Amino acid sequence: MRHPEVPESLDSWWILHRMFSFDRLAWDQVAQDEKTQIIEQATAAFNELKNADDTDIGLAQMVGHKADLMLTHYSKNYEGLAHAQTIVDRLAISEFITPQASYVSILELGLYDATGKIHAALAEKGLKPHSEEWIKAFDELLKEQEKVPHHAGRLWARIPQRRYVCFYPMDKKRGETVNWYTLPFAERARLMLEHGKIGRTYHGLVTQVISGSIGYDNFEWGVDLYADDPLVFKKLIYEMRFDEASSKYGVFGDFYSGVQFSVDQFGTYLDGNKVAELNSRLEPAMR
């Protein structure tokens, strides 16, 4: 049975973020020929995950003390996340990188507006809410949302190839006096519409990936932002803090930010003589 107050979503990639510390001093003591073998092994494994149709991987050097390296894994099934985690843990480089944090979620497109329109359309047809006919019609209309060009292009997009990345988890408040989940559906939809308008003013400047994590991790959503200028993160997030959906109902976890780099630059990252580059920005949007 579908609860009338619950907004629907379209789900796609399973996502695993893993943050590591890197023992650079220990790495510097390794002989060059051994370093070469370790780098080649890791690069081959990362390329396998990067080039497959059902997985993707992003690498980023973190800035700050919370982590040194972040790996972002995409998979079309949940087991794929476990597979990617095992592959990385079996690499020789694992002797030098230590897990510090992780986050499990699934990419989602929230459908507040579409859910409201579906409810209205079914009411116009005179279908009894939650009857067998109502549920069948609801599912059919929801399925149509996957065919909307804007939705289809976002559902299976690969990890954005933009230089800078920011990741953070967030909740909606569930307190005794301020509780997002006790607001009427129409009010939540209005707030999310206003919230989304701010994001749209940054169209072209930032690529946003929202993932749901209820049941998978400590927070309810994960947010990834990708941009060609790191200052965009501050401006966007600061502006959104003044929006009621965030200022009154938002709760945020730790923020992680850094620079993305290409798989073939992993050795450059490990050596640390310069910041590893992001070589290719022209990858397919979806496969």
Instruction: Tell me which residues are annotated as active site.
Output: 168
**Bridge partner residues of 73 (DSSP):** 16, 57
What is the rounded distance in angstroms from the CA atom of residue 32 to the CA atom of residue 259? 26
For the chain, how many residues are written? 287
Count Cβ atoms below 10 Å from residue 85 Cβ, excluding itself: 17
Distances, alpha carbon 73 to alpha carbons 58, 100, 112, in Å: 7, 16, 27
SS3 content of the chain, % helix, strand, coil (to 5): 40, 30, 30
Distances, alpha carbon 44 to alpha carbons 38, 55, 85, 115, in Å: 10, 14, 15, 44
| Listed residue (235, 183, 177) closest to 206, CA to CA | 235
What is the rounded distance in angstroms from the CA atom of residue 116 to the CA atom of residue 108? 17
Q: Are 55 and 49 in contact, with CB atoms under 8 Å apart?
A: yes
What is the rounded distance in angstroms from the CA atom of residue 218 to the CA atom of residue 137? 34
Q: Are strands 97-111 and 206-212 parallel, antiparallel or unpaired?
A: antiparallel
| Burial class of 237 by CB neighbour count within 10 A (0 to 12, 13 to 18, 19+) | middle
Angle, helices 32-51 vs 78-89, to 10°: value is 170
